[in-house]
């Protein structure tokens, strides 16, 4: 990818927020929040530095973000690192992480202990199962399709989102079924370049991860 280019179907450069305290503890965050760790801050800086030349070569970017605190923090770091105008970022609720309802704040083991019926229902139909008080992945798909339909043709978009919502968005843009969407990996120091139905994963350069104090590239799960 030499640079982000305008195309009739909006080109997307998708990011996931950096590691948070709850990521580190293995807790489902959903639409609640915990702050970025120092590793998470470094992950955002490392992928930003890896993509510096490509992003700076595209002055007409529209920048979008989920409004949750961890994505606001991450897109702020990215903008500061790359000297982009944070005040131009468009925050949209439709980019938020899946609402995990009564699972939020819990680990997977705690969910299994407290809500075994939820786990059984999820296993039957992971895509359509709506967690009590929350959403299904099908619900997330619906709101992300509505968001994507409003993108400006010919104008590339830089997007800061989440593990779960980011997976669904990649599936929408590449026309993938739920099984393939659930198989997507999403480390927190990677970006995803989406253009004309094709998907390219761009990992932060190892030298930048080391430079910014990251022990690893981050979780490949979307809790």
- 85/141 Cα distance (integer angstroms): 29
Can you spell out the DSSP letters for 66-118?
--SHHHHHHHHHHHHHHT--GGG-EE-GGGSPP--GGGTT-BHHHHHHH-HHH
Run of H or E residues at 15: strand 12-16
- Minimal CA–CA distance to 14: which of 71, 83, 53, 85? 71
Report the catalytic residues: 17, 97
Which are the contacts of 108, defined by CB distance < 8 A and separation ≥ 6? Answer: 26, 28, 223
Note whether 223 and 19 are within 8 A (CB): no
């Amino acid at each position: 990818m030499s640079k982000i280019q305008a195309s009739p179907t909006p080109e997307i450069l998708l990011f996931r927020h950096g590691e948070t305290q709850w990521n580190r503890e293995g807790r489902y965050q959903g639409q609640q929040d915990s702050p970025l760790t120092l590793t998470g801050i470094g992950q955002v800086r490392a992928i930003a530095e890896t993509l510096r030349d490509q992003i700076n070569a595209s002055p007409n970017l529209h920048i979008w973000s989920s409004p949750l605190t961890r994505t606001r923090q991450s897109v702020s770091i990215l903008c500061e690192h790359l000297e982009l105008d944070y005040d131009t970022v468009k925050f949209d609720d439709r980019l938020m992480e899946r609402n995990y309802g009564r699972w939020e704040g819990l680990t997977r083991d705690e969910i299994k202990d407290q809500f075994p019926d939820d786990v059984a229902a999820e296993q039957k139909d992971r895509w359509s199962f709506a967690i009590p008080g929350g959403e299904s992945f099908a619900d997330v798909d619906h709101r992300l399709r509505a968001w994507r339909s409003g993108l400006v043709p010919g104008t590339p978009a830089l997007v800061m989102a989440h593990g779960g919502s980011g997976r669904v968005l990649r599936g929408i843009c590449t026309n993938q079924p739920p099984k393939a969407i659930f198989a997507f990996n999403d480390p927190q120091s990677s970006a995803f370049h989406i253009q004309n139905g094709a998907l390219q994963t761009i990992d932060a350069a190892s030298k930048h991860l080391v430079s910014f104090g990251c022990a690893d590239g981050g979780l490949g799960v979307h809790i």
